[in-house]
Amino acid sequence: MKKSILLIVIMLAAVGTMQASNILVAYFSWGGNTKALAEEIQRQTGADIYRIEPAVPYPTDYNTLAYTIARNEKETNARPALKETNQDFSRYEYIFVGCPVWWFDAPMIMHTFLETYNFAGKTVIPFCTYYTAAYETLNDIVNATPNSNHLEGLGVSGASSYDSNAIGAWLRRIGLDQESTAIGSVEKTDKPVQSSIYNLNGQKVSDNGNTDGLAQGIYIMRGKKFYVK
């Protein structure tokens, strides 16, 4: 009896400390390559995931899509309608925005999406998949979110699965792998934000953001890495 009460208390405590992710992976994918990359990013970050879909589905035939619909959308600077326009993304701080390269750029539906949802003040991380090269696609997403902060993006050759080590290395570089965000999440409470600093082993080395006396090296504050000289 005592044991089961203890178990319930532990479970309730665990639920109490669980928190919703503040990271979103929003992606558009026609053939599935970008979907697979988005899902790998989700797997490695613990993010929520959202698929951007057109109100009118694109044709399944490649030639019709590429040489008629997509080219026409680009030439006319179209804003193809979204299937959904009433999502609430306000609680996300970090938003991965991904798509395939279509005619050297992001598909026009990405512009509809980024103009519909306001990511001002949030941090946008672009990613894309391609056949030959990313060309201007990552810049296109950055330019379409002028009031957001940005982290280094990722463009990769499209595939049905991806090298998880390479994706992991990128996520660590930008401080959004699960280890870094778990450390950052220590501060996400209702209390006033303290700028605690952690070393790369996850040990707290400062309560108040003061770097005096810290040895030279990389540290983490509010989920972001920085360097002490």
Ligand X SMILES: Cc1cc2nc3c(=O)[nH]c(=O)nc-3n(C[C@H](O)[C@H](O)[C@H](O)COP(=O)(O)O)c2cc1C
Residues that bind ligand X (CB under 6 A): 29-35, 62, 65-66, 70, 100-104, 129-133, 158
Taking the least distance from each CB to ligand X, the nearer of 73 and 177 is: 73
Q: Which residue is nearest to ligand X (CB)?
A: 158
Shortest distance, position 113 Cβ to ligand X, whole Å: 15
Q: Which amino acid is located at 209 in the chain?
A: G
Of 89 and 103, the one with the shorter C-beta distance to ligand X is 103
Identity of residue 198: Y
DSSP state of 32: S
- Minimum gap (Å) between residue 105 Cβ and ligand X: 8
Give least dist CB 79 to ligand X, A. Answer: 17
Buried b (16+ CB within 10 A) or exposed e, 174-202: bbbbbebbebbbebeeeeeeeebbbbeee
Closer residue to ligand X, CB minimum distance, 6 or 56: 56
Query: What's the closest the beta carbon of residue 130 comes to ligand X, in angstroms?
Result: 4
| Token pair listed for 11 | 């479970």
Residue (98 or 175) nearer to ligand X, CB: 98
CA atoms of 143 and 129, how far apart (whole Å): 18
Neighbouring C-alpha atoms within 13 Å toward the C-beta of 212 = 2
